[in-house]
């Protein structure tokens, strides 16, 4: 591969990312509407899990190769990027409005999961039982999220039925026509639901492909212009595994789908901490270096806390907050460069 093909891969990868992110957002929003589930829940589960796939895959691959530090570092860097880089850029595009309910459930869960890593990793070793504990917590959270989504849907349905309970159809012909229309609408909804699912699947697959192509091109260009492998790994690769979240959230922000954006950011951080680290530890127990249980860990905690405080102020992430988050991420990269090269 030469520099021309590397640049071509970079551009092609970005285009694939953007287009597939549009498909993913469109499918996720449509799916939420047709299933009667909030966009926030879809963002927290289906979309967040899909966009977290690169981080999970990278951590598993690192664990298999015995590079536990890479697995943990990948999660730290991605979680920081999700809130500071992705959150900052999306807020600059359009301020991110946050529902009050997310402060009661999802955001506290994200903070608790982040803090849960401390007792697991502070002894500088991740064992199989600890990995299993993280995966068990992940499974419980998924089940609770699905349960709450179904409960919210049931309440909404009961309220709707209560409003229309007094409506009666006295003419039999009208009832027949109504039933025929309902059947046609059900078929139409089924077709639309299948189409939405297809959009989500294509979008997720495309995001993985686009991220891989983009990273390959960027790494080659970085090496050719003289960047060290350390700098490439800590910048290009770290940002590369967060590209699906970045592009999908950016598209959602442009389309005024704040619930999708915040759902992806919060959900991805939870999945990274529990699923990526849990699977990595279960596959192959490993030791980690002191810095990953020290300053690097607390930087992740601080960024998470700052993001939550900003969200609490005015129930949104404003453009000013977005700029501050981006400045914080740049400062983080400077720290990495100064102490890792």
> Each residue's pLDDT tens digit in the chain (341 positions)?
778 888 887 778 777 776 776 777 677 777 767 766 676 776 676 677 666 777 776 677 667 767 677 778 878 888 999 899 999 998 998 888 887 777 777 888 899 999 999 999 888 888 899 999 999 999 898 888 777 766 766 665 655 555 555 444 444 454 544 454 444 444 434 447 788 888 888 877 887 777 677 667 777 777 787 765 555 655 676 677 777 778 778 888 888 877 778 888 888 899 888 988 898 888 888 888 887 888 889 999 999 999 989 988 878 888 999 999 999 999 988 887 776 55
| Token pair of 132 as six digits | 């299993």
The structure tokens 């071509």 sit at: 8
CA-CA-CA-CA torsion for 161, 162, 168, 173, nearest 10 degrees? -10
Q: Would residue 70 count as lying in a domain?
A: yes
Q: Would residue 183 count as lying in a domain?
A: no
Host H or E run for residue 317: strand 316-317
Contact 330, 96 (CB under 8 A): no
| Token pair of 178 as six digits | 């109504």
Q: Would residue 141 count as lying in a domain?
A: yes
Note the pLDDT tens digit of each residue in 150-204.
676 666 565 555 555 544 444 445 454 445 444 444 443 444 778 888 888 887 7
- Return the CATH number at 231: 1.20.1420.30
Mean pLDDT for all residues in the chain: 77
Q: What is the pLDDT of residue 196?
A: 81
Q: Would residue 175 count as lying in a domain?
A: no
CA 105 remoteness from chain centre: 17
Q: Would residue 165 count as lying in a domain?
A: no
Where in the sequence is the domain holding 254, given as residue range(s)?
Answer: 8-152+192-340
Q: Would residue 107 count as lying in a domain?
A: yes
Q: What is the pLDDT of residue 72?
A: 83
Note the pLDDT tens digit of each residue in 285-307.
888 888 788 888 999 999 999 99
Domain count, the chain: 1
- Angle of the 258-271 helix axis to the 128-164 helix axis, nearest 10: 150
Q: Would residue 262 count as lying in a domain?
A: yes
Name 198's Cβ contacts closer than 8 Å, sequence gap at least 6: 27
Q: What is the pLDDT of residue 323?
A: 94
C-alpha to C-alpha distance for 65 and 88, rounded to whole angstroms:
34
Q: What is the pLDDT of residue 301?
A: 93
Host H or E run for residue 33: helix 3-35
Contact 7, 227 (CB under 8 A): no
């Amino acid at each position: 591969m030469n520099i021309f093909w590397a640049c071509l891969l970079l551009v092609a990868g970005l285009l694939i990312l953007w287009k597939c992110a549009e498909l993913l957002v469109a499918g996720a929003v449509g799916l939420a509407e047709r299933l009667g589930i909030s966009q926030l829940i879809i963002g927290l589960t289906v979309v967040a899990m899909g966009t977290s796939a690169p981080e999970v895959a990278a951590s598993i691959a690192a664990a298999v190769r015995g590079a536990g530090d890479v697995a943990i570092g990948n999660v730290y860097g991605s979680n920081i990027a999700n809130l500071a880089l992705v959150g900052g850029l999306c807020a600059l595009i359009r301020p991110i409005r946050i529902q009050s309910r997310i402060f009661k459930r999802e955001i506290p869960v994200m903070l608790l999961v982040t803090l849960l890593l401390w007792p697991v990793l502070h002894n500088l070793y991740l064992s199989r039982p600890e990995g299993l504990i993280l995966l068990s917590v992940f499974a419980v959270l998924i089940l609770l999220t699905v349960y709450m989504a179904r409960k919210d849907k049931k309440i909404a349905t009961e309220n709707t039925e209560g409003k229309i309970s007094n409506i009666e159809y006295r003419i039999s012909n009208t009832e027949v026509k109504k039933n025929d229309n309902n059947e046609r609408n059900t078929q139409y909804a089924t077709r639309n639901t299948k189409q939405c699912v297809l959009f989500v699947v294509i979008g997720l697959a495309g995001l993985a492909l686009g991220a891989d192509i983009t990273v390959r091109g960027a790494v080659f260009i970085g090496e050719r212009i003289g960047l060290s492998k350390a700098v490439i790994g800590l910048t290009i690769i770290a940002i590369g595994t967060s590209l699906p979240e970045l592009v999908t959230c950016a598209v959602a922000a442009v389309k005024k789908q704040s619930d999708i954006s915040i759902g992806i950011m919060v959900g991805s951080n939870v999945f990274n901490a529990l699923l990526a680290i849990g699977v990595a530890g279960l596959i192959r127990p490993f030791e980690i270096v002191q810095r990953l249980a020290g300053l690097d860990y607390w930087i992740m905690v601080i960024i998470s806390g700052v993001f939550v405080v900003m969200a609490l102020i005015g129930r949104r992430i404003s453009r000013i907050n977005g700029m501050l988050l981006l400045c914080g991420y740049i400062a983080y990269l400077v720290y990495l460069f100064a102490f890792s090269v």
